[in-house]
A and B are shown apart, each in its own frame.
Chain A
Amino acid sequence: MQYTVGSIAPIFLSPVIAFVINAFFGRKLPRNGDWLAVLSIFISFVFSARIFGDFFFGQFATDYYIHKTFTWFDLSAGTHVFKVDMGIYLDNMSSIMLLMVSGVAFLIHLFSTWYMDHDERHGRFFVFLPLFTSAMLGLVLSDNLFSLFLFWEIMGFCSYSLIGIYYEKEKAGDASLKAFMTTRVGDVFLLLGIVAIWMVVGSVNYVDIYAAIAQGKFDGPAVLGISFATFTALCIFAGAMGKSAQFPLHVWLPDAMMGPTPGSALIHAATMVTAGVWVSLRMYPLMVLGDITWFIAVIGAITAFGAATIAMVQTDIKAVLAYSTLSQLGYMMIGVGVGSYNAAFMHVITHAFFKACLFLSAGSIIHSVHEQEMPKLGGLKKYLPYTHFAMMCCTLAIAGIPFFSGFVSKDRILGDALYFGFMAGQNPLLAIVPILGFAGAGLTAFYMFRMMFLTFYGENRTHDSHGHGHGHKDDHGHHGHGHEIHHEHLDFRSNVPLLILAVFTLGFWFAGNVVGQNFGNVFGGKNEWFKILVEAPKVEKFVDRPKQAFSSVDTKGEIVLPHAHYHHQSGYAGPNPDEHKLHTAHVIGAWLSIFIAFSGVFIAFLMYIKKSVKPLAEKFPGITEMLKAKYNFDHFYIDILIKKGLLGLNRFLAWLDMGIYDRYVIDGMAAVNRVLFKASKWFDNVVIDAIGVDGTGVTVNLFNLVLRIVQSGKIQFYFIMLVMVLASYIWTLNI
């Protein structure tokens, strides 16, 4: 067998074809063409599985990669090179990611055909779903940051459409806009980072970037007082923060549950949010070079802990899952930051399986009961046995109970975090990373079991609400009226996807052994295959590696190299690990997280099953209120920063519009006076009030300043900003 472009491209192309057909002829097809979407993803899955099989069974060496490029356009003139290449980049990591994305997306599609049945937006849903998946697959396949950015934006658009699919609901419309605008802030930075990389490397290929890092080309001029590498890495990471919903830009993700539940499953599990982690992993050498890994770890820790605390008090079952996604994304970022490269990636994969399963289970509950408020659920175990089983597996996994996948990946991240925080000789303040990480792990176990207990155990409370259930609309678009809950039976569209996903919440699939430490190996010689296959890119290897033409053929026979054996290798990618201390940290971390997870479960058990401890809401009403308000982030962004804090700036801009831009400047002197006056007023209002009264960071303020200017609504103002930003970029960077 040979690898040509024809054996790779269908992964990306078949969902695109399904999208095109469904978009134009979906209404003509039977069942609005949903079978076509499912089929197309299945084709992707088959091709991905073949690639994964080849990589997994050692047909390619560990550090082998397939890189096929073609020149999209070439406008070089003289010594000025302006050439854009596109291509495919496949290595171990992308083969795993492709299999995960296509597999999970296939099951989600299958489930959606059941969930969206008889829904008025059935056809529309199955237009965007394959496009979304294809964008993610394309993102994984792409070999450069430029095409990555294209797919990134397509995903942004698709998430916008999927979140706001019931656009007549005001909340859904707002949520979709919020998601779009918030991620856009990150996207601007990502684009800036890409341009900066282009400037010094002359190309945005991963391979070229790695080679450039190895050759030390990133010693460009300092920008705004920070070194060029740091600037670039920060820009790229800011993009990842927007997409992966990290701390200051996290506000969109919880609202993203407004769409249909399978759509949320796709956004939260397989695609979209993992894209940010993906780009951080791909650009990991740059992050190390720019020395911002500690920053990534801190942001991740804040997100992991903060989101977990909010999740404790949510009553909507999907809101709990949304905040748990935020929290788990925080763990992935901790993983990237503390140098546990392959554990972070493993957490992407394990999280995709259990979070997809959790969301689909929630969808199954909502579809059966037409209710998503947990206080109105309860006792569903006997009605929905299969859903209960699947959801229980996933809950065990996410809570970090041993033998499940979440334990394997999260524990490795936490172990490395422990080493990073206490033993690696870093700044002692960075101990906050493992502390918040472990605290978040305990909270995770607590709130997930709270959700399980409230939903599936105790007495059934669904009938209480039926009296006023009419007129209430759940996210499925149905009126919740009081029909009896039917016992579910095994159906290949509704339960089987859940059960398949539940199978992959077991830890040994990823660790290769049941208990750890080479005991109970499942895959024989492929023990710890994840560590063998995934390692941080070693940039020196990429110098002067030839590229292949797009039409070239990779024959397996020529490139078989023996697998390296990594039995005692930790997978830690940070600087100079002390193996002994690292091992100690992992042992301590493992026991600590087992203890924390079980105590979280135990507290939840006491509160919600035994009822011997009062639930949180009654015990700490003050804290609960604060958490329910989500730390007032929305209030802070909208009311304080945009309405109050920026009112002065608003006036200033209005004056700018009216005065300079239109015709109100009568006298030059008066104008100068007014500028001074308004500027000082602006300074008073924004800087003194916002910081002095609310004690908040200026960074957040700046983000909103950008948003405010973007929202002026005057198109000519946009032109001016466009030219000015371009000019300032060229002048400051001295191209």
Chain B
Amino acid sequence: MVSLASYLIISLILFVVGLVVMIARKNIVAILLGIELILNAAALNFVAYSRYATNNLDGHIFSLFIIVVAAAEAAVGLAIVIRFFQIKETIHIDEATQLRN
């Protein structure tokens, strides 16, 4: 039988991979991909707990809202990426240090 732990482990792996993507890759779009992975890990946790730990569907609602927020975040994030590309002609993350000083 599939247990809650297996879902939690998959979600942990997803989260860590997302974290590695966010830290290791230098491309802003890739970092956004990492964020999507992390959000999905959280949503998977919600649904898994909803099935195994509680008796209601609140977890489903939460993951639906996560999807909504992810959509909004992707739209705005990619708009920023495109704008950044128009200005800097690169999407290398280390170029984005305008606010440093």
Residue of B nearest to A657 (CB): B94
**Cβ contact within 8 Å between B99 and A713:** yes
The number of inter-chain residue pairs (CB within 8 angstroms) is: 25
If A77-B53, A711-B100, A713-B99 touch, whether A723 touches B19 (CB-CB below 8 Å) is: yes
Q: Is B13's CB within 8 Å of the partner chain A?
A: no
Residue of B nearest to A720 (CB): B23
Q: Is A716's CB within 8 Å of the partner chain B?
A: yes
**Cβ contact within 8 Å between A716 and B97:** no
- Chain B, residues 1-22, CB within 8 Å of chain A (1/0): the string is 0000000000000000001001
* Shortest Cβ gap from A684 to chain B (Å): 26
Chain B residues near A716: list those with CB within 8 A: 22-23, 31, 93
Chain B residues near A714: list those with CB within 8 A: 93-94, 97
Q: Is A680's CB within 8 Å of the partner chain B?
A: no
A75 to B53, CA, bound (A): 10
Q: Which of A78, A713, A715, A720 contacts B53 (CB 8 A)?
A: A78
* Shortest Cβ gap from B32 to chain A (Å): 12
Q: Is A712's CB within 8 Å of the partner chain B?
A: yes
A60 to B53, CA, bound (A): 43
**Cβ contact within 8 Å between B19 and A77:** no
Q: Which of B49, B93, B94, B100 contacts A77 (CB 8 A)?
A: B49
A719 to B93, CA, bound (A): 13
**Cβ contact within 8 Å between A715 and B100:** no
Residue of B nearest to A715 (CB): B93
Chain A residues near B99: list those with CB within 8 A: 713
Chain B residues near A77: list those with CB within 8 A: 49, 53-54
Q: Is B96's CB within 8 Å of the partner chain A?
A: yes
B residues 64-101 in Cβ contact with A at 8 Å: 93-94, 96-97, 99-100
Residue of A nearest to B54 (CB): A77
**Cβ contact within 8 Å between A719 and B94:** no
If A77-B49, A77-B53, A78-B53 touch, whether A715 touches B96 (CB-CB below 8 Å) is: yes
Chain B residues near A715: list those with CB within 8 A: 31, 93, 96
A200 to B49, CA, bound (A): 25
A713 to B100, CA, bound (A): 5
**Cβ contact within 8 Å between B53 and A719:** no
Q: In this complex, which of B22, B49, B94, B96 has the most chain A Cβ atoms within 10 angstroms of its Cβ?
A: B94
* Shortest Cβ gap from A570 to chain B (Å): 52
* Shortest Cβ gap from A646 to chain B (Å): 15
A residues 237-251 in Cβ contact with B at 8 Å: none
B residues near A (Cβ < 8 Å) are 19, 22-23, 31, 49, 53-54, 93-94, 96-97, 99-100
8 additional A-B pairs beyond A713-B97, A716-B31, beta carbons within 8 Å, are: A711-B100, A713-B99, A713-B100, A714-B93, A715-B31, A715-B93, A716-B22, A719-B23
A residues near B (Cβ < 8 Å) are 75, 77-78, 711-716, 719-720, 723
Would you give 5 A-B contacts (Cβ < 8 Å), ordered by A?
A77-B54, A711-B100, A713-B99, A714-B94, A719-B22
Rank and list the top 10 A-B pairs by shortest CB-CB distance, nearest first: A713-B100, A713-B97, A77-B53, A716-B23, A719-B23, A719-B22, A77-B49, A720-B23, A715-B93, A711-B100
